[in-house]
Chains A and B, each alone.
Chain A
Amino acid sequence: MTDRPDAGAQIVVEGLVKRFGRFVAVDGVSFNVGRGEILGFLGPNGAGKSTIIRILCGLLRPTAGRALVANIDVSRDPEAVRQRIGYMSQRFSLYRDLTVAENLRFFGGIYRVPASELAERMRFAIEMAGLSGREDALVATLAGGWQQRLALGCAVLHRPPILFLDEPTSGVEPTSRRRFWDLIHSLAGDGVTVLVSTHHMDEAEYCHRAALINQGRLVALDSPEALKRTALGGELLLVACEALGPALAALRQAPGVRDCSVFGSALHVLVDDAERAAHDLPAYLAANGIPSARATPIHPSLEDVFVHLVAADVAERSVAA
C-alpha cells in the first residue's frame, strides 16, 4: 500500500501550520494520499484532525504551508476544491423531517448536480444505501445504519473524486458498520480518495494507511499491519494470574519489562522479547509470591499502538520543553 501515494496523489499536504492566536492547532504536518487510497485519521480530541480536514475542504486558511486537493491549492481556489470533494459528518447532516428522495434532491441542488443527471445519481445513491422502495420514507423513521448510508449517498451525489468522512460510524450497529465499510472500499476501488477520521481503533483496520495526530503533529503514518508490527518497540504478553494488583507491582520491577497494565481479568505486559519473557515471567512471579501465572504472547491492537505512540510523543515533548 505504501507505493500508492506516489501514483498520482490526490491530497498533498506540505508543512501545514494553523495557529489560532497563540494556540498552534496544526504544527508542520506533511502527508500525501493517493488516488483510491483510504487514509484513516486518528488522534485524541483536540489533536487537530478536524482543523486539518477543514483546511482541506477550503473552509479554513492555513497560517503556513501548502495543501493541494485534486491538484488545486486550497488557499488559492477554495471554491474549486469544494466542487471536487464530498463531506459527511458524524451527525449525518440529513433533514429528518424530509423523505429519502427529498433529502437527495436537496443535496443534488446544493452540489449543483445537473438536472439531466440527477435522476440517475439518485437511483445510484438509493441503491447503494439499500433504500429501494423506501424513497418516500421520512428519514427520522430510518434506523441509524440506513441514515448513515443515505448520508454517504448524499455526499457522493456529485461524483466527487475525494471524500472526507468525519467520525462516520458513531453508534451504528456492527452489521451496518461492516456494510458501510464495504461501500467505502467499493468507492475507493472506483478511484475515490477517502480521508476518514475516527475514534474507533478497530475501524482504522479498514484503512489502507493510518495517520496518528497528537497535539497538531503527525506522530506516525503507516499501514495498520506495519504499525502493529513495529510501533510498540517491543512485544506484548498476556499474563493471567490471581492477585492482579500485586502482580502488576511486581512486574513493573521485573527485568526486560517496559510497561505493564491491567486489561480485563489479566495483565498486558510490554517486553523486549515475548518468547523469552513468556518463559521467565511466571517463575519471576512465583518467586514474588504469585504462583501459577500463565504468559502468552499476543498481537497488539491498534489501540495499544495508538496509546503507546501518544504517550511517547507527550514524554518527548516534555523533555524538549
Chain B
Amino acid sequence: MSDAAAPIIVADGLTKRFADVTAVDGLSFSVAPGEIFGLVGPDGAGKSATMRMLAGIMRPDTGAITVNDVDVVGNPEAAKPHISYMPQRFGLYEDLTVDENIRFYADLFEVPPALRDERAARLLTASGMSRFRRRLAGQLSGGMKQKLGLTCALVHTPQVLLLDEPTTGVDPVSRRDFWRILYELREQGVTIVISTAYLDEAERCNRLALLHGGRVLYCDSPAVLKQRMPGALVAILSSDGRAARAALSSKAGVTHLILVGDGVHAVVDDAERRIPELREALRRAGVPFSDIAVSAPSIEDVFVAMLENGESAR
C-alpha cells in the first residue's frame, strides 16, 4: 500500500494495566487506508486489549488513538460509525438462523433493508454460505461461524474493520476462505486490523506489529521482517536428525539446532562459511544426509531469534 497516504488509524503510546500486569506497554503504530495490518503474537501478548482500545470499548491508561481523525479515547461514540469490531467470541445468536442473525445486526446498525439484502447476498456468496441461509447459527462449524460473524460485522460496510483472532481454532481450508474475503474487502478500500496467534498468518498482512508481553518487537512489512533474521537458517535433510544434531551441537557459529521431521534446522551466523564446515562435521561423524542448503526462515524463526537476542524496536 502507498506509504505516502495519511494514516487512517494512529495509536500512540498506548498503555493498559490490569492490577499489577501491564497488558499493553507503550504501544505505537499507524495503519494506512486500505491496508491489512496484523497484530501478531502468542497468547498474553496484548492483542485483545489493544483491539478493545482501538474499538473504543476500553480506555487506555495513557496514550492516544485516532481513527479517521476522530479521537477514539476522548469520544468513542463519534468513532463507532467508522469502525466495525469483531471480538474473539462474536455474539451470534445460536438459536437464530444465518439470515436472522444478519438481519439483527443490520437493524442494530440501522442499515436500510434493500441495502442490507444486497450486501448480505454478496457476502454470503463470497464466503460460500448461500446454501446455509436457513440453518441455525448453532449448527454451523467453527469456520462457518467465523464467516457469519464477519458477514454480520460487515453488513454496515465500515471503513475500518477490527478482527480479534478470527481464525483461532479454524482449520486451514476455512482460514484460506476467510483470508480470501479479507483480500476482496481490501480491494474495495476497507482498512483491516487483524490479530492472530498464528505466526504464519503474519505473512498475509501488508504490515504487522509483532507483539510480545505487551511490547512491539517489530513493526513493518513481513518481507523486511525476514531480512531482520540474525544469521541464516540452514536446512539439513537427514534420516537421523538426532545424530545430525549431536554431530553439530558444539560447532562454532551455530546458535541453534532444531529437530524437525526431515532432519535438523541450524541457525548459523554466516551460511556461506558454515555450510562446508557443517557438511564436513556430518561426514566425519558418519551421519547420513541428503541435502544441506539455506532455507527461508519462517516468521516463527525470526520471532524466536529476536526474543533470544533481546531485540526490540524500542
Chain A positions near chain B (C-beta within 8 angstroms): 1, 38, 40, 43-47, 143-144, 170-175, 178, 181-182, 185, 189, 199-202, 204-210, 223-225, 244-245, 261-265, 298-299, 301, 303, 306-307, 310-311
Looking at chain A's contact residues, the main secondary structure is: mixed
CB neighbours (8 Å) of A170 from chain B are 169
For B259, give its contact among A185, A224, A225, A307 (CB under 8 Å): A185
Q: Which of B97-105, B130-138, B295-303 contacts A (4 or more CB under 8 A)?
A: B295-303
A-B contact count (CB 8 A): 116
Q: How far is the CA of A207 from the CA of B261 in the complex (A)?
A: 4
CB neighbours (8 Å) of A298 from chain B are 296
Top 3 A-B pairs ranked by shortest CB distance? Answer: A173-B42, A44-B171, A262-B183
Q: How far is the CA of A181 from the CA of B44 in the complex (A)?
A: 21
Given A182-B259, A310-B173; A265-B206 close (CB under 8 Å): yes
How near does chain B come to A67, taking the closest CB pair, in angstroms? Answer: 23
How near does chain B come to A142, taking the closest CB pair, in angstroms? Answer: 12
Any chain A CB within 8 A of the CB of B203?
yes
CB neighbours (8 Å) of A224 from chain B are 260-262
Determine if B172 and A303 form an interchain contact, defined as CB atoms under 8 angstroms apart: yes
Determine if A43 and B171 form an interchain contact, defined as CB atoms under 8 angstroms apart: yes
CB neighbours (8 Å) of A45 from chain B are 141-143, 170-171, 174
Determine if A208 and B261 form an interchain contact, defined as CB atoms under 8 angstroms apart: yes
Determine if A244 and B171 form an interchain contact, defined as CB atoms under 8 angstroms apart: no
Determine if A1 and B171 form an interchain contact, defined as CB atoms under 8 angstroms apart: no
Looking at chain B's contact residues, the main secondary structure is: mixed
Interface size of B as a range: 35 or more
CB neighbours (8 Å) of B171 from chain A are 43-45, 47, 199
For B42, give its contact among A174, A209, A223 (CB under 8 Å): A174
How near does chain A come to B38, taking the closest CB pair, in angstroms? Answer: 10
Any chain A CB within 8 A of the CB of B283?
no
CB neighbours (8 Å) of B1 from chain A are 265
Residue in chain A with minimal CB distance to B141: A45
For A199, give its contact among B172, B204, B298, B303 (CB under 8 Å): B172
How near does chain B come to A31, taking the closest CB pair, in angstroms? Answer: 16
Q: How far is the CA of A215 from the CA of B260 in the complex (A)?
A: 28
Residue in chain B with minimal CB distance to A243: B187
How near does chain B come to A205, taking the closest CB pair, in angstroms? Answer: 5
For A264, give its contact among B44, B168, B172, B204 (CB under 8 Å): B204
Q: How far is the CA of A185 from the CA of B238 in the complex (A)?
A: 14
Any chain A CB within 8 A of the CB of B258?
yes
Q: How far is the CA of A189 from the CA of B259 in the complex (A)?
A: 11
Please, could you name 5 A-B residue pairs with CB atoms under 8 Å apart, sorted by A? Answer: A173-B42, A173-B43, A173-B212, A264-B222, A298-B296
